[in-house]
Every structure is written in C-alpha cells, then in structure tokens.
Amino acid sequence: MQKKNEKKYMIAYKIWGILIYAASNRQTFTYSSLAEILEKEITCRNVGNYLGPIQSYCKMKKLPPLTVLVNRKDGLHGSGKFDGENTKRCCKDRERVFEFNWQQYTPTIDDFINS
C-alpha cells in the first residue's frame, strides 16, 4: 500500500511540472491528453486521483487552482456540473492561473503528501 501511495505523489509531482509549464504558455489539457503525456503511468480515467494532491497543495498555500487547467473533452472542469455562475468562476480561476508566477513555488513530493 505504501508503494502505491508513493507512486501517486510522484506522479502528482510530475503533473505539477507539466501544469506550471502549461500555465506559462496559456495551455489547457483534457484528462486524456494529460494521460498521454505521462504515457503508461496513468489513464484518463484516473487522472483526477493524481490531481488531488495538487489541488490540496494549492488550497493549503492559497494559490490559484492549478488543476483548473485540466478539463473534460467537452471543455468543462471536473464533473461538469456548472451553472452560469460556476462557469464564470472557472474562467476567472483559469485566468488567475495563467497570470500567476508559478516559478516561485517548487513543492516537493513531501509537500504533496503533507497537504
């Protein structure tokens, strides 16, 4: 069980690097395109499991929600249960992510474990 959890945080650490690079280039990903980048380490069905530690770290550090850069194929974030108000918030969050200086944050795997 311990090895499985370690793998989760190591993959989250890799995804962090991918997402901050994407933010600097104003890019987004679908769950499947992110899974393709990581090749055989994850599938599009379980990408959300690896985004969880990143989301927790961002909340803990009061950072913009970096995981908003990963969306479903239809462009909606997460479960897709967005009314007009939540869609506006998601767009605002994405802009905050694009404009933020992510280079000043370099979390470690332990930071993800402890968040």
48: nearest Cα among 80, 91, 84, 21: 80
Mean pLDDT, the chain, as a whole number?
Answer: 86
How do the domains of the chain map onto residue ranges? 2-113
Question: For residue range 24-62, what is the model confidence (pLDDT) as tens digits?
Answer: 999 999 999 999 999 878 887 888 899 999 999 999 999
Global pTM?
0.86
- Alpha helix (H) ranges present in 25-83? 31-37, 47-60
pLDDT band (50, 70, 90) for residue 98? very high
What pLDDT shows up at residue 84? 53
What pLDDT shows up at residue 86? 65
Least confident of 18-27, 50-59, 73-82, 90-99: 73-82
75: nearest Cα among 87, 89, 58: 87
What pLDDT shows up at residue 46? 87
What pLDDT shows up at residue 26? 96
